[in-house]
A and B are shown apart, each in its own frame.
Chain A
Amino acid sequence: MKKENWFLVGLVFGTLFLLFFRQNLGWKIQAFFSPAVNLQSDAQQKLVLENESLNAELALLRQIKKNQPVRNGAFLPVFVYSRYPFNFKNELLVSAGANQGVDIGQTAVIASNGAASSGSILVGKVEKVFENVSLVRTVFDSRFRSAVRVGGFGTNALLKGGGKPELSLIPKDAKIANGDVVYSASPDFPYGIAIGNAGNVRISSDQLFQEADVETNYNPNELQSIFIISQNF
């Protein structure tokens, strides 16, 4: 066998070893090739996100009863290692797993003002847990489904994930408008966490319901750290 073939065989075995036992090298290469976050727009984005979460809190306070339980969860900050690289799903790999107390079904959020406990934006849910890393399925995953409420009147809707998340099954006579806040209402997540704003409100193709797009004010491809809520409410 020629020397160059032996060299290639060595490369193949080396790559196999890295693929099975040192996947973090691939994640570092991904981070190297991904564009850097723009710091100037980061501050602006924080303000927009803070505004969004404050709207959600306002909608929540208008609708719920006086003895709402106080949120007391533990927020675990984690780094985002890697993203699903293809088009139809959106998953994040984060830097905490079973050893750090992460469990399947826990909520992933981003902090709107630097302190996750006072204002958060829902990102997704923990789907798989490994020893020191976990996979989070985000609202941009086409398989993501969750019950939500919209606006000050708390109109019920179904959030369907995807590249452009959508609201569906909104009652036809419900009064919702572009810009109304969308917040979580599913038992899978803490109640009242902001998700985004309703936009492009329209009648569905079957004329039975209303539909809307969900506009989020963050770029999921630029997330570098999020929080996992590690206690149930």
Chain B
Amino acid sequence: MRANKFLASLLLLLTAVLLQYNFNAFLGWSPDFVLGVLVTFPFFLGFIEILFMGLAGALILNWQPQFSSEILMISTMPLFVLFVKKYFPWRAGLSHILSTFFMLAVFYGISDYASLFGNPALFLKSAAWTLAYGALVFQALNYFYPPSQRFGARPPQ
């Protein structure tokens, strides 16, 4: 079961990479499918799997020989979500959407603050697509690999 989930997640990551590069090639912009998928994984995978997925995403997206702030964020954001999600008071689905949007905003706020506010329409367009894709991935993983605990729900009395 764990191996299946890991392989399925790896395939989802590669699908996100494929979509992101094809969108960019044909439209000139792309939603951040990879970031959306990486922020989804903390709700289903363990620490080591998430660490590997973050590093794999960083390896595939890296465009230069030196380690940049963007690549560092790609590698560490899933781990950050893994550690803070237990403090979310909402159900997993809502926590996932909010954490995806927040991570996107932080990512673009740090990597190109001026352009984020200079072109908010592009950010919102990218965020909408990313959230939709992330939600789709979340629901698929939730259906095939339901989480053992629901976050925010109280145990039965």
> Interface on A for B, CB 8 Å cutoff?
4-5, 8-9, 11-12, 15-16, 18-20, 23, 25-27, 29-30, 33-35, 81-89, 91, 93, 128, 130, 133, 135, 142-143, 162-163, 219-222
Is A163 within 8 A of B64, CB to CB? no
The answer to whether B108 and A88 touch across the interface, beta carbons within 8 angstroms, is yes
Q: Do the beta carbons of B63 and A221 come within 8 Å of each other?
A: no
Q: By the criterion CB–CB under 8 Å, are B63 and A91 in contact?
A: yes
Number of residue pairs spanning A and B whose beta carbons lie under 8 angstroms apart: 127
- Inside 8 A of B123's CB, which chain A residues have their CB? 87
Chain B: number of interface residues, binned into ranges: 35 or more
Residue among B20, B48, B49, B59 having the largest count of chain A Cβ atoms under 10 Å: B59
Q: Which of A26, A163, A219 has the most chain B CB within a 10 Å cutoff?
A: A26
Q: Which of B24-32, B82-90, B92-100, B141-149 contacts A (4 or more CB under 8 A)?
A: B24-32
**Contact, CB under 8 Å: B61 / A26:** yes
8 closest A-B pairs by beta carbon, nearest first, are A88-B115, A88-B112, A82-B63, A15-B55, A142-B115, A8-B48, A26-B59, A221-B25
Q: Complex: how many Å from CA A87 to CA B14?
A: 19
Interface of B is mostly: helix
1/0 contact string of B98-109 vs chain A (CB within 8 Å): 000000000110
Chain B residues, CB < 8 A from A81: 63
CB closest residue in chain A, given B61: A85
| A12, A26, A84: the one within 8 Å of B48 (CB) | A12
Which one of A4, A35, A84, A135 lies within 8 Å of B22 (CB-CB)?
Answer: A35
Provide the residues of chain B in CB contact with A35, threshold 8 Å.
21-22, 25-26
